[in-house]
Amino acid sequence: MNKKLAIIGAGGHGKVVGEIALLNQYDIIHFFDEQAYKIKKYPFEIIGNLDQLRNKLNDYDEFFVAIGNNKIRYDQTIWLKKEKKIIVSLVHPKASISKLSSIDSGSCIMANAVINPGTVVKQGVIVNTSSSIDHDCLIENYAHISPNCSLSGNVSVGKFTHLGTGTSVHPGINIGKNVKTGIGSKIFHNIADNEIFKN
């Protein structure tokens, strides 16, 4: 019998995560969301809100936080850690992940993403659809690499940073913490913490 998985976050991002969980052979996948009773149509079973999850923590073997907002994802993950719960990473079977890279707990790697040798993906990271992360990159905790991003070798991305769809990054660039880049950004120089970058 497969393990029971509880997922926090029943939005659009959660739908994608839920399908990845199905493809990873979870039989029982239950969602919890603060807006549980306002969600009318959803392809997975929504059990209730987070208060109800607190009362059911021992019913589940593993947990995942499927919230796109980096800081909310962090908050919910920290709560689960304090409760000493097992937080898994979820990888789409059509992602290409080097055996010489590493992916920490709570991270999601989506369809057609590529992660090359020497790259470290830390906790709670989203590597979204068709993103490419080349060799020896560092993606810090709770960052989000949006669809179709392209990171060249030796790039570092700071905690809570969100690279917008289609962002391209030159080799060896350091992107700070809590940075946001616009759609289609082309990054040729280092970016300091807390900047909003567009070009």
Sorted by where each begins, the domain ranges of the chain are: 4-88, 90-192
- pLDDT value at 19 more than 60: yes
Percent of the chain at pLDDT exceeding 70: 99
Q: 3-state DSSP: the chain helix, strand, coil percent, rounded to 5? A: 20, 30, 55
- pLDDT value at 73 more than 80: yes
* Record: fold of 4-88: Rossmann fold (3.40.50)
pLDDT band at 40 (very low <50, low <70, confident <90, very high): confident
- Mean pLDDT, the chain, integer: 97
- pLDDT value at 1 more than 80: no
Higher pLDDT: 27 or 137? It is 137
Query: What pLDDT, on the 0 to 100 scale, is given for residue 3?
Result: 87
The CATH superfamily label for domain 90-192 reads Hexapeptide repeat proteins (2.160.10.10)
- pLDDT value at 134 more than 70: yes
CA dihedral (83, 85, 91, 93) positive or negative: negative
Which neighbouring-strand residues pair with 186? 168
* 42-65: average pLDDT: 96
Dihedral angle at the C-alpha atoms of 34, 37, 30, 70, nearest 10 degrees? Answer: -30
Query: What pLDDT, on the 0 to 100 scale, is given for residue 157?
Result: 99
